[in-house]
Amino acid sequence: MKIISHHYKLLTEILRLPVAELHFHEALDPADIRATYRYYTKPHPRYKLIRNKTVGAALLDLNAVPNEQQYLELIKGKNAGAHHAKRARNRGYQLRHIDRNAHIDDIYAINTSLEERQGRPMDTKYREKPSHFETLKHFRYYGVFNPEGRMVAYANLGHYGNFASFSQLIGIRNNDGIMHMMVVDIVSELLGEQRVRYLMYDTFFGAQPGLQTFKKILGFRPYRAKYALQ
């Protein structure tokens, strides 16, 4: 009975989630867009009856916060995203667009700065130093730099159609708010451009509590995502 009750509760929570229509535009990069669409919609590795990134997709609806000021209002408050981002900015950190191939050493240092993240060992690919990064035309690459000019965090953001999605978001661990600042500044850039409706940061289900909290205080909420390839 406990198992049935658990599944019923989970199904009820899923059905209550708001629905977001996420459109992949194949013309942006036919090969990568098709591959990403297949990955997002393949059967979930644990729950075969649902698709990989459909239930509990962590999304920020940019139409609900049409300018930077409204976004900051949404995430203001003690220990909220705007508070942490401001602390990082006041300490001299800056977000910049980067060419990853000019920062291979910094990226490797960030990737290997911790043995574990979110209670899990770092994947092998993060422990191997790359010799070259491929640059995709529908991606933007960002770095956070400290006052001494060292890159201490980075993010890769794919633009897929009416939504953009983080493929990587990683930094050294400190208490300066650098990760919050990076997300806030990227959101501000997207709001200024009005190019996409949603920003995606993977999913809520399966994420550790600390990462779920990080997403929530930056305005992300769980959705049921419906994908279309156009």
The count of structural domains within the chain is 1
| 8 inside domain | no
Cβ contacts of 168 within 8 Å, gap of 6 or more: 154, 155, 156
- The enclosing domain of 47 has a CATH number of 3.40.630.30
Whole-number pLDDT of residue 66: 87
Whole-number pLDDT of residue 106: 97
| 96 inside domain | yes
Report yes or no: 58 and 201 within 8 Å, Cβ to Cβ. yes
Whole-number pLDDT of residue 11: 58
Beta bridge partners of 163: 198
Provide the domain limits for residue 168: 18-229
Q: Could you tell me the mean pLDDT of each successive run of 10 residues in the chain, 230 residues long?
A: 49 78 98 96 68 90 95 93 97 98 97 77 82 96 98 98 97 95 98 97 87 96 96
Whole-number pLDDT of residue 6: 45
pTM: 0.91
Whole-number pLDDT of residue 45: 62
| 9 inside domain | no
